[in-house]
Structure 1
Amino acid sequence: MSGLLEILSPVGDMERLYAALDYGADAVYLGGTAFGMRAASAKFTPELLAQGCAEAHRRGKRVYLTCNTLPRNNEIPQFEGFVKGAVDAGVDALIITDLGLLSLAKKFAPDTEIHISTQAGVVNYVTTNEFYNMGAKRVVLARELTLEEVAEIRAKTPDELEIECFVHGAMCVSFSGRCLLSQYLTNRDANRGECAQPCRWGYHLMEEKRPNEFYPIFEDEQGTFILNAKDMCLIEHLDKLAKAGVNSFKIEGRAKSSYYVSVITNAYRKAMDIYKADPDNYVLPQWLKDEVFKVSHRAYCTGFFFGHPKESQYYENSGYVREYDVVAIVDKCENGRIFAEQRNKFNLGDEVEVLSPDGEPEKFTVTEMFDEYGNSIETANHAAMSFSIASERVYPRNSIIRIKK
Structure 2
Amino acid sequence: MAEGNRVTNEPASGRHARPEVLAPAGDMERLRMAVAYGADAVYLAGNQFGMRTFAGNFSPAELEEAVKLCAARGVLVNVTCNTMPRNGEVSRLPEWLEYLDSLRVNAVIVAEVGTLALAKRYAPHLDVHISTQASIVNFQCASAWYDLGAKRVILARELSLDEIREIRARTPMDLEIECFVHGAMCVSYSGRCLLSNYMTGRDSNRGACAQPCRYRYALVEEKRPGEYFPVCEDGENTYIMNSRDMCMIDHIPELIDAGVDSFKIEGRAKSAYYAAVITQAYRRAADAALAGVPLDGVWRDEVEHVSHRHYSTGFYFGQPGQYTEDSRYIRDWQVCALVESCGADGAAVLSLRNKFAVGDELELVGPGVRPTAFTVPDMTDGGGLPLLEARKPEMKLHMRLPVPVPPLSLLRRRVQAQGAAQ
Check if 1:133 corresponds to 2:147.
yes
Runs of 4+ in 1 over 4 A off after TM superposition: 219-223
**The residue matched to 2:387 in structure 1 has which SS?**
coil
What is the match of residue 85 of structure 1?
99
Q: Give the Cα separation in 1 of the matches to 2:403 and 2:314.
A: 40
Check if 1:323 corresponds to 2:337.
no
Among candidates 290, 293, 300, match of residue 311 of structure 2: 300
What is the match of residue 118 of structure 1?
132
Which deviations, in whole Å up to 9, do the C-alpha atoms of 1:215-245 show, x marking residues without a partner? 1122899871111100000000011011000
What is the match of residue 16 of structure 1?
30
Percent of counterpart pairs with the same letter?
Answer: 50
Check if 1:186 corresponds to 2:200.
yes
CA RMSD of aligned residues (A): 1.5
In the superposition, the TM-score normalised over structure 1's length comes to 0.96
Structure 1 residues 284 and 4: CA distance shift in structure 2, 3 A: closer
Check if 1:387 corresponds to 2:397.
yes
Q: Which amino acid aligns with 1:71?
A: P
Q: Which amino acid aligns with 2:388?
A: E
Q: Which amino acid aligns with 2:338?
A: I
Structure 1 residues 38 and 137: CA distance shift in structure 2, 3 A: same
Please tell me whether the aligned partners of residues 39 and 193 of structure 1 are also in contact (alpha carbons under 8 angstroms): yes
**The residue matched to 1:360 in structure 2 has which SS?**
strand
Q: Give the Cα separation in 2 of the matches to 1:248 and 1:9.
A: 10
- Per the TM alignment, residue 252 of structure 1 is displaced from its structure 2 partner at its CA by 0.2
Among candidates 243, 251, 254, match of residue 265 of structure 2: 251
Q: Give the Cα separation in 2 of the matches to 1:75 and 1:391.
A: 52
Contiguous gaps of at least 5 residues in structure 2: 1-12, 416-422
**The residue matched to 2:209 in structure 1 has which SS?**
coil
In the superposition, the TM-score normalised over structure 2's length comes to 0.92
Q: Give the Cα separation in 1 of the matches to 2:71 and 2:307.
A: 30
Please tell me whether the aligned partners of residues 46 and 86 of structure 1 are also in contact (alpha carbons under 8 angstroms): no
What is the match of residue 345 of structure 1?
355
Q: How many residue pairs are counted as aligned between the two chains?
A: 400
Please tell me whether the aligned partners of residues 369 and 405 of structure 2 are also in contact (alpha carbons under 8 angstroms): no
Check if 1:107 corresponds to 2:121.
yes
- Per the TM alignment, residue 45 of structure 1 is displaced from its structure 2 partner at its CA by 1.3
Structure 1 residues 77 and 384: CA distance shift in structure 2, 3 A: same
What is the match of residue 357 of structure 1?
367
Q: Give the Cα separation in 1 of the matches to 2:131 and 2:357.
A: 46
Please tell me whether the aligned partners of residues 94 and 112 of structure 1 are also in contact (alpha carbons under 8 angstroms): yes
Q: Which amino acid aligns with 2:325?
A: E
- Per the TM alignment, residue 336 of structure 1 is displaced from its structure 2 partner at its CA by 4.5
Among candidates 184, 199, 222, match of residue 170 of structure 1: 184
Q: Give the Cα separation in 1 of the matches to 2:60 and 2:104.
A: 10
Among candidates 266, 289, 299, match of residue 288 of structure 1: 299
Please tell me whether the aligned partners of residues 231 and 297 of structure 1 are also in contact (alpha carbons under 8 angstroms): yes
- Per the TM alignment, residue 111 of structure 1 is displaced from its structure 2 partner at its CA by 2.0
Structure 1 residues 164 and 99: CA distance shift in structure 2, 3 A: same
Structure 1 residues 339 and 221: CA distance shift in structure 2, 3 A: farther
- Per the TM alignment, residue 366 of structure 1 is displaced from its structure 2 partner at its CA by 1.0
Check if 1:161 corresponds to 2:171.
no
Q: Which amino acid aligns with 1:294?
A: H
Q: Give the Cα separation in 2 of the matches to 1:222 and 1:306.
A: 28
